[in-house]
Structure 1
Amino acid sequence: MTTLPEWTDLRFFLELARSGTLSGTSRRLSVEHTTVARRIDRLEQQLGTTLFDRSREGYQLTEMGLSLLPHAEAMESAALAATEQLAGIQVSARGLVRLGAPEIFGTQVVAPMLVALLREHPDLNIDLLLLPRFANLANREADIGVMLDPPSTGRYMVAKLATFRLYLYGSKEYLARHPPIREHADIAHHEFVDYVQDRLASSELNFFEELGFTPRRRLCCTGMMAQCEAAAMGLGLVLAPPYAVRNHHNLVPVLEDRFHAERSFWLVAPVDLYRLQRVRVVWNLLREYSERNSPLFKNDDKLIEFSRTKTSFE
């Protein structure tokens, strides 16, 4: 190799590594897909190696491509940091932040809080990824992820966002048509709405195993938003946090003062991206908002702490 690769070619390399397709990369970079292919071919010729395996399914990094990836990411991070520093961005953040969040949390909590932030920072843009799984930060699918399982390896900033409790809810119509629920044993005679068990994005979503019995699932959905809609229509009981049901006024808590499950959301961002002003602005907003709005996550402080291995009741 007689010359260094151009940074613009490495940008194409990074985006293709993340999206896996020419069409996805062309959309992200606002160019034709033929331009993407030409840039990748040029980079491979310049480096004298094959960076991607091509197939009908898309582009997969080769061993040499995987070796190049962290160096290209470091160059990207340095370029972004230099741009911010030279632009003197200290008060107003600018640029794009991609934020991955669970569907109903992102819809009911995150999206509304972002409105004021975007008004405050007119040059800031946010892509809110409401995925049926948790965002893949390793391939830079998102800059920040809200997840139940923080990574145990890799260079990430990790902080607890909120501990939330899940309560049993049922619609007023459902509860009026079915036997009353006065104690834990009564729950076993009722029907439930839950997650599709073989499509769980995390084992932490397996809430109902903590009931102490196998629930009678009438409907299973891959997202909690659909679960709450079905429960609100009277199909069965649902286990959900307060923020998930706040717009369903006909859903009422069941055994609220005697039973709950508990989980935690974690904020995660690659260390190099966390250094960027625009990423920290979004990160800080999420943490501050969660601290100020604890009723979204817990109905009150009177509940007995719930054990992950043993059910607790008064």
Structure 2
Amino acid sequence: MNSLPEWTDLRFFLELARAGTLSGASRRLDVEHTTVARRIDRLEKELGTTLFDRSREGYELTEMGLALLPHAEAMEGAALAAAEQLGGAEVAAHGVVRLGVPEVFGVKVVAPLLVGLLDANPELTIDLLALPSFANLANREADLGVMLDPPTTGRYMVTRLASFRFYLYASPDYLARHPPIRHQSDLSQHYFVDYVQDRLASRELSYLDELGFTPRRRLCCSGMTAQIEAAALGMGLMMAPPYAVPDDGKLVPVLPGFFAERSFWLAAPTDLYRLRRVKVVWNLLRDYADSQPSLFV
């Protein structure tokens, strides 16, 4: 290697590693895909090694590329921290934070919380990714995320945000038209609204398995918002956490003693966690979850 690689070349390396394609990296960097290819070729020439295996499907890191990745991420984190400190972020958070959250949790719980945070930090901007899946932190789809499956490899800050429970709900109309439910065994006679089973964002969402029998799924949806609407229209029983159920009487509890318990985890790449703007969002979620246990159980 004749010289040290430029940081800008390493930015191109990081975005291509995360996106997996030239077109994806070019969109992230707001440049032409030919520019990405040229900068990667230059970086490989400077380092004297191949960083990516090229194929029709895209770009995949080689062993040397994988070895470079954590060093490039560390440089990225240092650059972000330096820019934040020089911008006076030690006093007030500023910049953009991309927060990935489950769809209903994001709409019902997180979005209202952000009003006060943004009022207190006028230079802060939040990109709220309220998704039916979970944000991919490995490719930096989000700066931090709430999820059911915490990262087990890589450099992340991870904390248990809250334990929460899925309870059974149904519309009064559905209950009036179907056999009474007095015991868990009675549930086998009923229809259910659930997730599409081969499109589960996490195996933790297969909570109907805890019923003890194979449920009669009448309608399956990719997200909980659609499930709530379907159950409110009388299409079957559903399971949901209390915060997800509207307080309008369209859904009522069924067998309150039966529930499935899960945990939300909060995670962020270690280098991003150090940033003031990420830390204030992290602390907001932690403090709120700690102060509102009845929201989840």
TM-score range, shorter chain: over 0.9
Distance 2:117 2:5 in 1: 38
Matched, 1:209 2:234: no
State the secondary structure of the residue aligned to 1:179.
coil
Q: Which moved more, 1:159-168 or 1:59-68?
A: 59-68
Distance 2:259 2:280 in 1: 33
The Cα shift of 1:121 comes to 1.9
Verify the 8 A CA contact 2:18 2:138 in the aligned structure 1: no
Verify the 8 A CA contact 2:22 2:37 in the aligned structure 1: yes
**Counterparts in 2 of 1:248 and 1:45: CA distance versus 1, 3 Å:** farther
Q: Which moved more, 1:85-94 or 1:210-219?
A: 85-94
Counterpart residue identity of residue 110, structure 2 = V
Distance 1:248 1:294 in 2: 22
The Cα shift of 1:86 comes to 2.4
Aligned to 1:295: 294
Distance 1:35 1:152 in 2: 34
Aligned length: 297
The Cα shift of 1:170 comes to 0.5
**Counterparts in 2 of 1:154 and 1:28: CA distance versus 1, 3 Å:** closer
Verify the 8 A CA contact 1:232 1:248 in the aligned structure 2: no
State the secondary structure of the residue aligned to 2:189.
coil
What whole-Å deviation, never above 9, does each CA across 1:169-197 have from its counterpart, x for those lacking one?
A: 11122112112222222222110011222
Q: Which moved more, 1:259-268 or 1:199-208?
A: 199-208
Matched, 1:163 2:154: no
Verify the 8 A CA contact 1:195 1:221 in the aligned structure 2: yes
- When the two chains are superposed, the root-mean-square deviation of aligned CA atoms in Å is 1.9
Verify the 8 A CA contact 1:159 1:268 in the aligned structure 2: yes
Q: Which moved more, 1:277-286 or 1:97-106?
A: 97-106
Q: How does 1:195-274 map to 2 (within 5 A)?
A: 195-246=195-246, 249-256=249-256, 258-274=257-273
Aligned to 2:91: 91
TM-score, normalised relative to structure 2: 0.92
The Cα shift of 1:32 comes to 2.5
Verify the 8 A CA contact 1:99 1:129 in the aligned structure 2: yes
Distance 2:31 2:249 in 1: 47
The Cα shift of 1:241 comes to 0.3
Q: How does 1:303-314 map to 2 (within 5 A)?
A: none
The Cα shift of 1:234 comes to 1.1
Verify the 8 A CA contact 1:171 1:251 in the aligned structure 2: yes
Runs of 5+ unmatched residues, structure 2: none
The Cα shift of 1:198 comes to 2.6
Distance 1:248 1:70 in 2: 50
Distance 2:191 2:175 in 1: 11
Counterpart residue identity of residue 140, structure 1 = R
Counterpart residue identity of residue 178, structure 1 = H
The Cα shift of 1:146 comes to 1.0
State the secondary structure of the residue aligned to 2:170.
strand
Aligned to 1:276: 275
What whole-Å deviation, never above 9, does each CA across 1:176-226 have from its counterpart, x for those lacking one?
A: 211222222222211001122233222211111111222111112222222
Q: Which moved more, 1:87-96 or 1:189-198?
A: 87-96
The Cα shift of 1:153 comes to 3.7
State the secondary structure of the residue aligned to 2:28.
helix
Q: How does 1:47-66 map to 2 (within 5 A)?
A: 47-66=47-66
Identity of aligned residues (%): 74
What whole-Å deviation, never above 9, does each CA across 1:116-138 have from its counterpart, x for those lacking one?
A: 32232232222333344333323
Aligned to 2:124: 124
Distance 1:173 1:51 in 2: 61
Distance 1:14 1:95 in 2: 20
**Counterparts in 2 of 1:97 and 1:229: CA distance versus 1, 3 Å:** same
Distance 1:190 1:28 in 2: 48
The Cα shift of 1:247 comes to 5.8
State the secondary structure of the residue aligned to 2:54.
strand
Aligned to 1:312: none
Distance 2:110 2:80 in 1: 25
**Counterparts in 2 of 1:34 and 1:152: CA distance versus 1, 3 Å:** closer
State the secondary structure of the residue aligned to 1:49.
coil
Counterpart residue identity of residue 282, structure 2 = W
Aligned to 1:76: 76
Distance 1:54 1:62 in 2: 10
Distance 1:282 1:77 in 2: 17
Runs of 5+ unmatched residues, structure 1: 299-314
Distance 2:100 2:13 in 1: 22
**Counterparts in 2 of 1:126 and 1:34: CA distance versus 1, 3 Å:** farther
Distance 2:50 2:154 in 1: 26
